[in-house]
Amino acid sequence: MNSSPTEATRRFAEIVERSATFLLSGHVNIDGDSLGSMLGMYHFLRQRGKQVRALCFEPLAERYAFLGGDGIVEVFDPAVHSDFARGADVFMMFDFSGTGRMPGLWDVVRGGRALKVCVDHHPAESLPGDLNLHVASAPATGKIVLDLIRALGGEVDRRIAEALLVAIATDTGWFRYNNTTAQVLRDAADLLGFGLDAAFIYREIYQRNEVPLIRLMGRVAASIKEELDGRFLWATIPRSLVEELGVGPFETDELLDLMRSSHAAECVALLRELTDGGVRLNLRSRGKLDVSALARRIGGGGHLHAGGATLDGPLGAAAARVVAMVKEALQPIMSAGLAGPRRTRG
Q: Which of 56, 38, 65, 343 is nearest to 201 (CA)?
A: 65
- Give tens-digit pLDDT for 250-295: 889 889 999 999 999 999 999 999 999 999 999 999 888 999 899 9
Spans in the chain with pLDDT lower than 50? 1, 343-346
**pLDDT value at position 346?**
34
Q: Which domains does the chain have, with CATH numbers?
A: 5-205 (3.90.1640.10), 211-335 (3.10.310.30)
132: left (phi over 0), alpha (psi -120 to 50) or beta: beta
**pLDDT value at position 345?**
39
**pLDDT value at position 178?**
86
**pLDDT value at position 241?**
97
**pLDDT value at position 14?**
97
Q: Give the C-alpha separation, 287 to 267, whole Å.
A: 9
**pLDDT value at position 300?**
87
C-beta separation of 61 from 32 below 8 A? no
The Cβ-side half-sphere exposure at 287, using a 13 Å CA radius, reads 3
Beta-bridged to residue 311, according to DSSP, are 279
C-beta separation of 34 from 141 below 8 A? yes
